[in-house]
Amino acid sequence: MGVLEITADENVKIRVGDKLKGRVAFVTGGTRGIGEAICRSLASQGATIAAGYSGNDQKAEEFRERFTKTYSTPVSIHKGNVGNPEDCRGRVAEVIEKYGRLDILVNNAGITIDKTVLKMTDDDWYDVLNVNLSGAFFLSQAALRHMAERGSGRIVNVSSVIGETGNIGQANYAASKSGMFGLTKTLAREACLLLARSGKLNDPEGIGLTINTVTPGFIATEMVEHIPEKVMTQILSHIPLGRLGKPQEVARIVHFLSADASSYITGQVWGVNGGMDM
Ligand SMILES: NC(=O)c1ccc[n+]([C@@H]2O[C@H](COP(=O)([O-])OP(=O)(O)OC[C@H]3O[C@@H](n4cnc5c(N)ncnc54)[C@H](OP(=O)(O)O)[C@@H]3O)[C@@H](O)[C@H]2O)c1
């Protein structure tokens, strides 16, 4: 425990420990970008990882290969569209069936289809809402049932600073991401109610059932690659820290909220945005 290791492909120092040993984490959109960094961070403390993705089999296989080179903890990949309620229920059931439990759900999968309001089509609106918000609801619903029965669990939703500020060309994305705040707070309250009813709230032996949200600012992943240079210069000028965030810097907060010791934090929104919202 407590060894420092340099990962071969990321050249990032990670602390290897066993605080999440025996825990099973399902990270949607876990094969790339922020999701991959979350998988790595949770695995660095021994969690078993189930990583979801939608269609890019090659990237998913590459993720599995990279991951198994660095971590000895079990990993599996799960294909499904989080915009489809049946896929959400099916993938959660698949993970529970495979590992016998689900301790941590990270609703990270998300998409953008950017257009100004006057140009946005019905499909542009519904597609983003379905994947980003309805997906988080249906996955959480399936996970909550299982977690409430067991009396413990963690759900972390990956929202966005855009859900707090809005953004030109992102009405669908901003609405989906701010929708996560209400979803998080309601899930958090209902989780407490479920545990109270089963006599498991504040079980001295337990770690509780918490639901929180993180709001990343602009993070260096494929999602922001298409932003034109001129627009990026303008974005950077609004970030007090003067740079994009790194996926690991978001993963760090997700990991913190997923930890057993974070049992008194629920229904909260955590910013990771270089000071953008000050
Ligand atoms: N990057 C940023 O600046 C930023 C800022 C704030 C918030 N966020 C949020 O952070 C999360 C991750 O962003 P990212 O930049 O890491 O994204 P990314 O690099 O584009 O990766 C997206 C991941 O989500 C999966 N995915 C996409 N649509 C899906 C669907 N319908 N069903 C299941 N999985 C799906 C992708 O699978 P495939 O590989 O199969 O396509 C991939 O694994 C998103 O929710 C995003 O809104 C990002």
Question: Is there a domain that residue 276 lies in?
Answer: no
Q: Using the mean position of ligand 1's atoms as its centre, give its distance from the Cα of residue 146 in Å.
A: 25
List the domain range (segments joined by +) for residue 233.
Answer: 3-271
Does residue 32 have its Cβ closer than 6 Å to ligand 1?
Answer: yes
The Cα 46–Cα 20 span in angstroms is 5
Q: Name the catalytic one among 53, 71, 99, 173.
A: 173
> What pLDDT, on the 0 to 100 scale, is given for residue 223?
87
pLDDT value, residue 62? 97
Any domain includes 49: yes
Question: Nearest-CA neighbor of 125 among 140, 136, 114?
Answer: 114
Q: Which candidate, 229, 224, 228, places its Cα nearest to that of 250? A: 224
Ligand 1 centre distance from Cα of residue 28 (Å): 8
pLDDT at 14: 56
**Ligand 1 atom with the shortest distance to the CA of 109:** 24
For residue 277, is it within any domain? Answer: no
In a domain, 57, yes or no: yes
216 C-alpha to ligand 1 centroid (Å): 12
- Specify the pLDDT at position 226: 86
Q: How far, in Å, CA of 174 to CA of 164, rounded?
A: 8
Residue 174 maps to a domain: yes
**pLDDT given at position 10:** 54
> Which atom of ligand 1 is nearest to 112's Cα?
47
d(CA 268, CA 105): 16
Question: For atom 22 of ligand 1, which residue has the closest CA?
Answer: 29
pLDDT of residue 16: 78
pLDDT tens string, the chain, 278 residues long: the values are 333 343 444 544 455 799 999 999 999 999 999 999 999 999 999 999 999 999 999 999 999 999 999 999 999 999 999 999 999 999 999 999 999 999 999 999 999 999 999 999 999 999 999 999 999 999 999 999 999 999 999 999 999 999 999 999 999 999 999 999 999 999 999 999 999 999 999 899 899 999 999 999 999 999 888 889 999 999 999 999 999 999 999 999 999 999 999 999 999 999 999 999 88
**What's the CATH number where 179 sits?**
3.40.50.720
Is 278 a domain residue? no
Q: What tens digit of pLDDT does each residue of 244-276 get?
A: 999 999 999 999 999 999 999 999 999 999 999
Helix, coil or strand: residue 233: helix
99 catalytic residue (yes or no): no
CA of residue 266 to ligand 1 center, whole Å: 24
pTM of the predicted structure, to 2 decimals = 0.95
Ligand 1 atom closest to the CA of 110, numbered from 1: 45
Q: How many domains does the chain have?
A: 1
